[in-house]
Structure 1
Amino acid sequence: MELPELLVIHPAPVFIIHQQQFSQKFKLLKAYESPLSTKHFLQTHAQSTKALICYGKSPITSDILRRLPSLKLVVTASTGFNHIDLPECRRRGIAVANTADVFSEDTADIGVGLLIDVLGKISSGDRFVRTGIWPKNIYYPLGSKLQQYSFSP
């Protein structure tokens, strides 16, 4: 059975990490490894390319979309779509998918961690000690506890 083709113009970090898994399910068309220019690579695979994967740093413009007349799906390994020409995709009936809120919980965790760090003066206290001035200037303002604050959504 022939694997479906997946065009990769510029690899997203997640693609590089999981490239082996991708290659088991798809025939990978790696424009970034080709000696051809992107324009010529797209011309070579124009009729066979039905899906492509991208990310925020690889814009999918109307020019790229125009070069891929058989394209049916654009998947972005990012949460946003601002690097994809959505009106052109809509006009051509090309489905577009993203990772939606895959990073939401991690972003919230980092936000809480940073809040605790700032309130408790953890990083600034660490820098104060590492500068070596703390034996001479023993005063350093104490941090706050998170429990003194109330937060509402």
Structure 2
Amino acid sequence: MPSKGQSYIVYLGWHSHGPNPSASDLEFATNPHYKLLGSHLGSHEKAKEAIFYSYNKHSNGFAVVLEEEHAQDIAKNPNVVSVFLNKGHELQTTRSWEFLGLESDGVVPKDSIWEKARYGEGVIIANIDTVAEWSQIRQLLPWTLTLSHLKSSFCHQSQNLSL
């Protein structure tokens, strides 16, 4: 592949295999990536060289360096859900507990929400995966979910805590 291309994610939807795929399930999920890209690049071998990551466990897609014209062409394929630039993002903080006001210099203040909420005992809050941008996540979800829904839900739940 020419080095002047950019990194793209080609998203193909979800896999039909279950939550604990076997090695053959993963291989079966990855082979169509090479076939699809090979049909645009001219060969299966070129596709294998170009794909640097296959999403084959939960999401179905691959990461590849492409020229913009190839990316646009692939996006027109009826089996492709979306093609988008693979952008790097920097973390806003590496000190989340202090950033959120839960600790100060590694010490939990007596009036901290940690103390009031018994350190989250018996509560599952969320797991946010930072792999995709919010706009991409909304495209993948089968229902419409917005940040304001999450915020209002969190605020509603936190107001119901016995503090």
TM-score (norm: length of structure 2): 0.26
Q: TM-score, normalised by structure 1?
A: 0.27
Structure with the bigger RCO (C-alpha within 8 Å, sep 6+) is 2
Higher Cα radius of gyration: 1
